[in-house]
Structure 1
Amino acid sequence: MRNRPSPSPLHTFSESMMEENMEQAKSIITKWDLNSSTFTKVTSLFHHSHFEAMEFLNSVNQLQQAMHFFASSHNSSSPNLVHAQTLMQIAMKRLQKEFYQILSSNRDHLDPESVSARSSISEDEEAGPEDEIQLAGESISEVEQFSTLAMSDLSSIADCMISSGYGKECVKIYKIIRKSIVDEGLYKLGVENQITFSHINKMDWEVLEIKIKNWLNAVKIAVKSLFLGERIVCDNVFSNSEFIRETCFSDITKEGAVHLFQFPEYVAKCHKSPEKMFRMLDLYDAISELWSDIDAIFSYDSTSVVRSQAHNSLTRLGDTVRSMLSDFESAIQKESSKTPIPGGGLHPLTRYVMNYLSFLTDYRGILSDIFANCPLPENMSLPESYFESPNPNDNPSSALATRMAWIVLMLLCKLDGKAELYNDSALTYLFLTNNLQYMVQKVQTSSLRFLLGEDWIWKHKGTAKQYSVRYERLGWSKVISAIPEVTTTKMSLEEAEECFNNFNSAFEQTYRNQSSWVVTDSKIREEIKVSIAMKLVPAYRDFYGTYRPLLRAENDMKSVVRFAPDDLGNYLSDLFYGTGAASGSASSSVSSSPAQSRGKHSRR
């Protein structure tokens, strides 16, 4: 009978080492067996002793090496292998519990009670939606700010479980807890995952505008805190497995992020009135500002749907803004009111368009982006004498500048048509003065000046001045021409009386006609008054000073001389407020009969 060969010394030594390692692993693993005692069930290994926790992980790695050794050296029914597998199951249950405890302990910050406790708003104050979103943001920030130690522990546990073949269990725990945290965070930020296009389409604008404001506050927190924080945690916990990192992050955030970025697209689809454009620009600005963050955070192929949804919303908002501006232009062209504005004052169309444009151009950076590659309509050609379009290569806002210049030109053309509604030529030019001056002022005091340029302002300020000069010439030429030039040749009494009567009649009629006229700009109003007074008063003073003694000598002064030179300035001071002829003492005098007006001016 042949004897069996004795085992090799090397094999005996290796087996002995594996058995010793397994015994060492058994010591700490069985100590923390969940079923060994009440203490181990309620106590966290990693919280109890971080040093012992690291020993536990090291023991699992040693146990895994022993299992590989026994599996390669013996059959699958080896007592050592079976014992090692039993220990591994005990260890994995322990690590599953530790992984769950570390993750779940960080969600306490999102409890409504703790959010309420941290509120800086006193109990007697009523928190608004923005306050609630701010508090939610603070809570989310706390949750996402994992300590380095916590993420290191989670990463160590994940590596250990994955390398031991328990990655599926680890990932399942992670997804359940982290997704609930992200979903709860989105809920607290007011992101409704059940809202549809139909819901938004049926909402009153006042209600929807509140939701838009809340969304604008929420999206920054969601992207820069919630989603970024989750990406950081995923990257750290599963640092050794790119596939698991991507899978976890995608499954946890994708659904909520898509719902978040669907909202602006739905809003853009159902609201296209020009008055709503400012909210569309706010939404566009928010996504555009966050785009680099969105692109980086959701960079995985599996999260491309989030990038696509954000991009679709951006595209849809841009299309809607362009459509709104076209509708705005069309509304200007179709405006067809035929009622002259009393007193030649500011037309509502002027006020509306210029205020709209001045607010709109506060968004000129966004609008430049929206209109950058948008060709101008074929019929939109601007005379070079009106506006010289900037070179697109030198000025990225050139398309927007041309578009704004076109809208302003449409308004100017409309105002020319409105001016023709007046029967009095002087009032026509006063109307044009008022409206063009208002337009120039709005351009000067808003971001329109950066688009239309200083040259446009200078030209149209000069045109407004020309209009006021024409108004003066047409409105006061009859009065001024009624004052004869004082020469060395003396007039007869009859000639002097006739000149005074002609002046009285011309001044009274002009004053009465213009007493309800208006100059809306206070500076221009005073400039016109001074200009009229300089042309009128000195000439009248010379005539008055020369022939007043003659008329007094004939005892007929009161019936002929109705205005002293200083009185003219008083009358002029009442003009251009649009108050009518009966608003002041001077205008009352002019509007009354000559007999009634005698003796009212003591300085004669």
Structure 2
Amino acid sequence: MPRKGVTSFCFSPKASFSTHSHHLPSPSRFAFSPSQSSFSETVMDRTLDTVEPMVMKWDPQTTTVGRVTSLFHHDRREARDFIEAVNSLQKAMHLLLTDNSSSCGLARAKNLMLIAMKRLEKEFYQILSMNRAHLDPESVSTRSSRTSTACSSTSDYEEDDEDCIRSVADEMISAVEDASTLAMEDLRLIAECMVSSGYAKECVKVYKIIRKSIIDEGIYRLGVEKYTSSQIHKMDSKVLELRIQSWRNAVITAVKTLFNGERILCDHVFASSDSIRESCFTEITTEGAMILFGFPENVAKNTKRSPDKVFRLLDMYAGICDHWLEIDSIFSFQSTINIKSQALTSLIKLGEFVRAALNDFESAVLKDSTKSPVPGGGIHHLTTEVMDYLSILADYSNILSDIFADSPPPAKHSFPNSYLGFSDSDESPAPPVSLKTAWLILALLCKLDAKASYYNDVSLAYLFLANNLQYVVAKVRTSNLKHLLGDEWLTKHESTVKQFVSNYERYGWGDVIDSIPSNRAAADTPEKIEEIFKKFNASFNQAYIKQSACVVADRKLRDDIKASIARKIVPLYREFYSAHRLTMQRARNSVSVVRFSPEDVGHRLWTMFFGNEE
């Protein structure tokens, strides 16, 4: 601290200067000769003679040019000379303080330094204010992309005109980038000069006020607002969905442009001081970042849990997770750790919501109480709803893998591998998200088994199971569920579909097949031949009437079933028909005995499984 006496007269009590990192030494600690004192005072006098005219020219209190004109805007070369002059004055002051701190020449230097610092503070403010649109490098590149796209999409001009437009656009973009670079360099020059001169406090104050207003305004313009828990809880679901969509768009721009641009600018302007750039960036961005990254946690904690909300919250999870490397890099200061902590907390709460909502979804599937059989053994609405939901859910497989990575696996006895469709052992454990997906489908299949029991006709029950499992398999094969469940799962369940179809054919068409003897000796008399024809007529007609009401929605499965039934019936019947048709024609009642030709049988089979459409 400067001592009382002469120095108290020469130095005004300005806090920022007196707290400079170089403490003013007591003159009693130094012994100096008159020649030494003369040298430092000579340096000071020469420096003052050079600096004073330049500083006073830009004193807003004494000159018109200093009052109405910007130094850096007026002449950047003169502005640099001004900075160099102030730096020289600072060095001369330090030299004189070291040699003769009692010199009254310091009063003159101090006065000039005050004027110069006020000038630079004003310039710093003006550059920050006038170049708001130029001081975000990420925004510049974004504008560049938009401008190029706009030019390239023009189709009403000839190629030469388009080239001209692009050239003009490139020049405009270059001008914007140049303005940004010049503004950043000017700010850095001023900041380094003010900080080294002991006026860091004034410089930082101006920077924080202006830049924080820009960040706060940017967050507001992106549609991010601070909500209380009560507001989220009471918010209409459609309004909340709009807020979530707005947040998803905002987080991309905020991370890639707003916060990243501020970090770049702050690091550049205050490159000479790690502590200053950290404190500036932290104070400027903390409030906006906490609002941005706190919104997902607020939604997860105060939104009524339901499966339909899962997708929106997964979108929010992705909004943070997809940009985590950038978030981690931008907010790498120790003082911004609470921002990253908030983002992580939101991820945790979103994950908890998703896991709980999917457990609720499983319970809802198992509690489905509809007992009315689906007409024609068609696809149950529960099947379509569950599989449509899971196929969309599978689009978030990477995020779900992260969410379920730390979840405790279900007890092994709960997962019979033969039911799941793939192996899950201690030696080769299945991914948790695959286990969860397989378990949800297994819950559906178990429920479908129970619903099949509501059919009085066994064949229809098996057709119901075949139809619904085929729908499940098709959804898995044509969606990202395939990557979660794998080929082993598909092979297992496709085999089960074939088994259901086989059972359907046995119970639905077994009597028809059995009515045709494979042993030719069984039809050795006209009476036996007539009996076999009548038995076939009755069983085929009964089966056809009953099974005509059946529905097979999947085209391939429908064709496969019809072809399979036809292979089992038509060749046998054709052989029997060809062998005994003439015998029956001689009989008096041949028309009533031979009611179907092989072609009739094949045609009727081929028109089946369209339900009431046929």
Compute the TM-score of the two structures, normalised by the length of structure 1.
0.85
Most deviating of 200-209 and 569-578: 200-209
Other-structure match for 1:103: 128
The alpha carbon displacement at 1:489 in A equals: 7.3
Most deviating of 404-413 and 223-232: 404-413
CA contact (8 A) 2:134 2:179 kept: no
Letter in 2 for 1:324: A
Q: Mapping of 1:175-574 within 5 angstroms?
A: 175-192=208-225, 194-269=226-301, 270-378=303-411, 381-387=414-420, 388-390=422-424, 398-485=431-518, 487=520, 491-574=524-607
Distance 1:377 1:262, change over 3 A: same
The alpha carbon displacement at 1:377 in A equals: 3.6
Distance 1:7 1:212, change over 3 A: closer
CA contact (8 A) 1:482 1:499 kept: yes
Other-structure match for 1:63: 89
CA contact (8 A) 1:517 1:578 kept: yes
The alpha carbon displacement at 1:491 in A equals: 4.6
Letter in 2 for 1:29: V
The alpha carbon displacement at 1:393 in A equals: 8.3
Q: Distance in 2 between matches of 1:380 and 1:328?
A: 22
Q: Distance in 2 between matches of 1:408 and 1:10?
A: 92
Most deviating of 206-215 and 448-457: 448-457
1:88 is aligned to 2:113:
yes
Q: Distance in 2 between matches of 1:562 and 1:34?
A: 115
Other-structure match for 2:44: 18
Q: Distance in 2 between matches of 1:109 and 1:330?
A: 55
Q: Distance in 1 between matches of 2:33 and 2:541?
A: 135
1:50 to 56, 73, 76: 76
CA contact (8 A) 1:250 1:303 kept: yes
Letter in 2 for 1:375: P
Q: Deviations over 1:383-425 (max 9, x none)?
A: 2333454468877x61222222222222222221111111111
Most deviating of 294-303 and 258-267: 294-303
Q: Distance in 1 between matches of 2:64 and 2:535?
A: 117
Distance 1:304 1:470, change over 3 A: same
* Structure 2 unaligned blocks of 5 or more: 1-31, 136-142, 151-174
Distance 1:489 1:348, change over 3 A: closer
Letter in 1 for 2:34: S
Q: Distance in 2 between matches of 1:145 and 1:492?
A: 107
Q: Distance in 2 between matches of 1:95 and 1:380?
A: 75
Other-structure match for 1:597: none
CA contact (8 A) 2:438 2:485 kept: yes
Q: Deviations over 1:174-205 (max 9, x none)?
A: 1111111111211221111x322222222222
CA contact (8 A) 1:144 1:225 kept: no
Compute the TM-score of the two structures, normalised by the length of structure 2.
0.83
The alpha carbon displacement at 1:99 in A equals: 0.5
CA contact (8 A) 1:278 1:360 kept: yes
Q: Mapping of 1:28-43 within 5 angstroms?
A: 28-43=54-69
Please state whether the residue corresponding to 2:223 is helix, strand or coil.
Answer: coil
Q: Distance in 2 between matches of 1:495 and 1:30?
A: 131
Letter in 1 for 2:93: M
Q: Distance in 2 between matches of 1:243 and 1:519?
A: 72
CA contact (8 A) 1:144 1:226 kept: no
Please state whether the residue corresponding to 1:386 is helix, strand or coil.
Answer: helix
Q: Distance in 1 between matches of 2:454 and 2:178?
A: 69
Letter in 2 for 1:286: G
Q: Distance in 2 between matches of 1:252 and 1:303?
A: 11
Q: Distance in 2 between matches of 1:393 and 1:498?
A: 63
CA contact (8 A) 1:391 1:398 kept: no
